[in-house]
Amino acid sequence: IGFTKGDWTTPLIQFLGRNLILFVVINFNNEIKASPVVPCLFLVWSFVELFRYPYYGIRLLNKDNRIIAWLRYTLWIVLYPLGAFLEGLTIYKSLNYYQSKRYFSIDLPNAMNFSFNFVLFLQIYLVLLPLGLIHMMQHMWNQRKKTLIKKNK
């Protein structure tokens, strides 16, 4: 779209991960909706966005705001690991529910001769979540260096 500079794959990974957790893991699981983990997760996600979008809006106007830029490229250092932990905890606490209900799992035999184990998918997601976090943090660290060092010159 061109609103921001840079690679589109990293935001896409974040978008897909959040949507999986929100619209699939949380939305179909009434037990996890009642857990205090979910509002904590939403709070962390909201804090991340609280400075991302004002920063982008200011940049679209070709303006600079050092405070917003610093907040945008510093708060994630705490919020991203906390968010990943809460995302992982949300998924972990949902495993038994999805194992018992078999939502989104496809068992054989069926007309397509295809099986899919949603719980196994979530378990693999949990194993890969730290790798995704590392990727996101490296991306943000590079963005931080590029943005904040440039602003300090």
Cβ-based neighbours of 83, under 8 Å, separated by 6 or more:
41, 44, 45, 48
Amino acid at residue number 100: S
Domain extent listing, the chain:
37-90+121-152
19/11 Cα distance (integer angstroms): 12
Say how far residue 24 (Cα) sits from the centre of its chain.
14
Residues classed as catalytic: 80, 87
pLDDT tens digit sequence for 26-56 = 999 999 999 999 999 999 999 999 999 999 9
Backbone angles phi, psi at 61, to 5 degrees: -85, 10
| Whole-prediction pTM | 0.89
The stretch 15-23 carries a mean pLDDT of 97
Other beta carbons within 10 angstroms of residue 113's beta carbon come to: 7
Other beta carbons within 10 angstroms of residue 45's beta carbon come to: 18
pLDDT of residue 102: 95
